[in-house]
Amino acid sequence: MPSSEDRVAELRGQLEHHLYRYHVLDDPEISDAEYDLLFDELVALEEANPELRTPTSPTVRVGAPPSERFRKVEHLSPMGSLEKVTDEGGLVKWAEDVRKRLDSDEPVAYVLEPKIDGSAVTLVYEQGVFVRGATRGDGLRGEDVSTNLKTIRSIPLSIRATDGERPPPVLEVRGEVYLALTTFNRLNERLVAEGRKTAPNPRNAAAGSVRLLVSTVSASRWLAIWVYGFGYSEGLALETQWGTLAWRRARGFRTTPCAERHDSVESIAGACRE
């Protein structure tokens, strides 16, 4: 019979594996009920053996006691905003500007991804472990909402190891926390049943949920995330957006399944018209 320590390690590995299958690959191997049995066993073991608790255990996702306020934290690199293009002429001009900045005659490939309307956040990992998450704020400083972000099951608490590769010493990951339309409707139905004010739209609901002072409430809002880029990084050499998509997905980050690679502005414009 395995020791409590060995069983805890085994359960954590199984739960993280199934979270990855469910939230990143959209290909679950077990039912929700089977997952809950594993989770409940881990909770019981950690309660009986508090010395075995760790900050990356799947059980930390259930939420923590209320916070009095959110402290301000500086981003490791500024969080900018996207340039807007509303017609094909603007797209052509943008592509010309990109080529000028690259200062190269080599062919340029583009990655087309849908923009999710939610709440922009930044996630900081040190030695592969999630240590902090913050809102965009003014682009230079945001609010530390780490406890709430830990409740989002599609945010990995540690970067998955791949082929023995060591994780970057420091990595700043950018993403958008959102509510799917079906989830948004479920939330409003619940708020109506509780006699509370409904959310006006999914974006406001996501942003408000990220900044709730009680993380157990955030945990009940069914938030999700799509990761779309990096901020600051150490020891990571990736040259293309297409390559970073594959890197992030393989290491446990949820990325858009709708990304497309295009070799011309005309191809991008055609895809946008469809």
Catalytic residue positions? 115
Q: Are 176 and 255 in contact (CB under 8 A)?
A: no
DSSP class of residue 240 equals -
- Cα–Cα dist 170/147, whole Å: 20
DSSP class of residue 44 equals H
Cβ burial of 194 (10 Å; 0-12, 13-18, 19+) is: exposed
Q: Which residue has the tokens 């340029």?
A: 108
The residues facing 233 across adjacent strands are 171
Q: Are 117 and 203 in contact (CB under 8 A)?
A: yes
By three-state DSSP, how is residue 126 classified? strand
DSSP class of residue 125 equals E
| Angle at CA of residue 53, ends 50 and 57, nearest 5° | 150
One-letter identity of residue 35:
Y
Buried b / exposed e along 7-36 (16+ C-beta atoms within 10 A): bbeebbebbbebbbebbbeeeeeeeeeebe
In whole angstroms, how far apart are CA 132 and each of 102, 204, 210, 241, 259? 33, 23, 14, 24, 27
